[in-house]
Chains A and B, each alone.
Chain A
Amino acid sequence: MSAPAGVVGVFGRLDAAVEAVGSLKARGYANYRVYSPVPRPELADALAKKESPVRVFTLAGALCGTAFGFFYAIATSLDWPLITGGKPIISWPPFVVIGFETTILIGSLVTVGAMFLLAGLPKLGRAPGYDPRFSDDKFGVVAFGGPAQLAEARDLFRAAGAEEVKDV
Chain B
Amino acid sequence: MATLATPVAAAPVHADAPPTYAETTRDVIATLQPPGRKYFAGMALVLAGLAFGAFCWGYQLRYGLGVTGYQPPIFWGSYITTFVFWVGIAHSGTLISAILLLFRSGWRTAVYRAAEMMTVFAVMTAGLFPILHLGRAWYAYWVFPYPNFRGVWSNFRSPLVWDVFAISTYLTVSATFLTMGLIPDVAAVRDQARGWRKKLYGMLSFGWKGSDREWHHFGRMYLYLAGFATPLVLSVHSVVSWDFAMAIVPGWHATIFAPYFVAGAIFSGCGMVITILVPLRKAFRLERYIRVSHFESLAKVCLLTASIVAYAYATEFFMAWYSGNPFERASFYSRAFGQYWWATWIMLTCNAFIPQLLWFKKVRTSVPTLFVISIFINIGMWFERFVIIVTGLSHEYEPWQWSYYVPRWPELGILVGSFCWFSMWFLLAIKFLPSVAIAEMKEALPPPLKGEAHR
Q: By DSSP majority rule, is chain A's interface helix, strand, loop, or mixed?
A: helix
Given the known inter-chain contacts A35-B209, A121-B206, please indicate yes or no for A112 contacting B450, CB distance below 8 A.
no
Contact of B221 with A101 in the complex, beta carbons under 8 Å: no
Q: CB within 8 A of B213: which of A94, A100, A114, A119?
A: A119
Contact of A38 among B157, B165, B235, B442 (CB under 8 A): B442
Cβ contacts under 8 Å, B224 to chain A: 54-55, 58, 107-108, 111
CB of B154 within 8 A of chain A? Answer: yes
Complex Cα–Cα for A43 and B162 (A): 44
- CB proximity of A115 to chain B, nearest CB, Å: 4
* Binary contact readout A9-28 vs B (1 if CB under 8 angstroms, 0 otherwise): 00011111000000000000
A-B interface contact total, Cβ < 8 Å: 200
When the two chains form their complex, are residues B232 and A104 in contact, meaning their CB atoms are under 8 A apart?
yes
| Listed A/B pairs (30) with beta-carbon separation below 8 Å | A14-B448, A33-B213, A34-B212, A36-B210, A43-B212, A44-B215, A47-B216, A52-B219, A77-B156, A79-B151, A80-B153, A84-B155, A85-B157, A91-B157, A94-B158, A94-B162, A100-B235, A104-B228, A104-B229, A108-B176, A114-B217, A115-B221, A119-B218, A122-B207, A123-B206, A132-B191, A135-B25, A136-B192, A137-B20, A137-B22
Q: Give A134's nearest chain B residue, CB to CB.
A: B210
Partner of A79 from the list B153, B214, B439 (CB cut-off 8 Å) is B153
| A-B pairs, 9 with minimum CB distance | A123-B207, A132-B191, A137-B21, A115-B221, A76-B153, A122-B206, A14-B447, A137-B22, A52-B220
B243 to chain A, nearest CB (A): 12
- From B162, which residue of chain A is reached at the shortest CB distance? A97
Q: In the complex, which range does the number of interface residues on chain B fall in?
A: 35 or more
Q: Which A residues contact B (CB, under 8 angstroms)?
A: 12-16, 33-40, 42-44, 47, 49, 51-52, 54-55, 58, 62, 69, 72-73, 76-77, 79-80, 82, 84-85, 87, 91, 94-95, 97-98, 100-102, 104-105, 107-109, 111-112, 114-116, 118-125, 127, 130, 132-137, 161
Min CB distance B15 to A, Å, is: 18
Give the residues in chain A near B225, CB-CB below 8 Å: 108, 111-112
With contact pairs A98-B156, A119-B218 given, residues A12 and B206 touching in the complex (Cβ less than 8 Å): no
**With contact pairs A13-B448, A80-B152 given, residues A94 and B157 touching in the complex (Cβ less than 8 Å):** yes
Which chain A positions have C-beta within 8 A of B184? Answer: 37, 135
B207-255: which have CB < 8 Å to A?
207-221, 224-225, 228-229, 231-232, 235, 239
Instruction: State A69–B231 Cα separation when bound (angstroms).
Output: 17
The A-contacting residues of B in range 79-108, CB under 8 angstroms, are none
Take A98-B162, A136-B25 as given contacts and tell me if A121 and B439 are in contact as well, using a CB distance cutoff of 8 Å. no
Whether B169 is near chain A, meaning CB under 8 Å from some CB there, is: yes
Which chain B residues lie closer than 8 Å to A13 at the CB level? 448-450, 452
**Contact yes or no, A14 B449, CB < 8 A:** yes
Say yes or no for B64: interface residue by CB 8 A criterion.
Answer: no
Residues of A within 8 A of B158 (CB): 84, 94
Asked if B221 contacts A109 (CB within 8 A), the reply is: no
Point out the residues of chain A lying under 8 angstroms from B190, CB to CB. Answer: 135
Contacts of B154 in A (CB 8 A): 76
Q: For the complex, what is the distance from the CA of A69 to the CA of B34, rounded to whole Å?
A: 46
Selected contact of A116 from candidates B156, B206, B211, CB within 8 Å: B206
**A53 to B155 CA separation, bound complex (whole angstroms):** 38
Contact B448 A12 (CB under 8 A): yes
Known: A43-B212, A54-B224. 16 other contacts (CB 8 A): A39-B215, A62-B228, A73-B156, A100-B235, A105-B168, A105-B169, A108-B172, A111-B225, A111-B228, A119-B217, A119-B218, A132-B191, A134-B209, A135-B184, A135-B187, A137-B20
